[in-house]
């Protein structure tokens, strides 16, 4: 669906809140709410929000790992597995 169809004024949110919640079951795309013609907030389905937060968390872990690798904070696989074997 086009982003333009997901932009609604705050008056639409006020008068259609129940329908918006019901429609998330079939169309989980977020709504962009405007006030005085300016985008002010996003309304989205909770499951989509949770999935987005999980994705952000994974991307953050990847970025942290990449930064640590670039800084030389890593261990060769053989040394890592040898260390793990010692702890058992």
The CATH number of the domain where 17 resides is what? 3.40.1620
- My answer on whether 32 and 63 are in the same domain is no
Q: Which domain holds residue 37?
A: 1-44
Kind and range of the H or E run holding 33:
strand 31-35
List, for residues 11-46, the tens digit of each pLDDT value.
Answer: 999 999 999 999 999 988 999 999 999 999 999 999
Nearest in space to 6 (alpha carbons), one of 28, 21, 38? 28
The pLDDT of residue 1 is: 55
pLDDT given for residue 55 in this prediction: 98
Tokens of 57: 């968390």
| Residue 32, H or E segment | strand 31-35
Please give the pLDDT value at position 88.
67
**pLDDT tops 80 at residue 4:** no
Whether pLDDT at 3 is above 80: no
Do 88 and 64 share a structural domain?
yes
The tally of CA atoms less than 13 A away on the side-chain side of residue 40 is 11
How many structural domains does the chain have?
2
Percent share of the chain, pLDDT over 90: 75
Backbone angles phi, psi at 42, to 5 degrees: -125, 135
């Amino acid at each position: 669906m086009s982003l333009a169809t997901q932009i609604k004024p705050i008056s639409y949110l006020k008068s259609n809140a129940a329908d918006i919640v019901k429609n998330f079951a079939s169309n989980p795309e977020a709504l962009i709410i405007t006030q005085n013609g300016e985008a002010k907030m996003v309304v989205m389905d909770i499951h989509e929000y949770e999935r987005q937060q999980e994705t952000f968390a994974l991307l953050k872990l990847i970025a942290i790992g990449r930064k640590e690798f670039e800084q030389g904070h890593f261990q060769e696989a053989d040394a890592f597995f040898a260390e793990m074997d010692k702890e058992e």
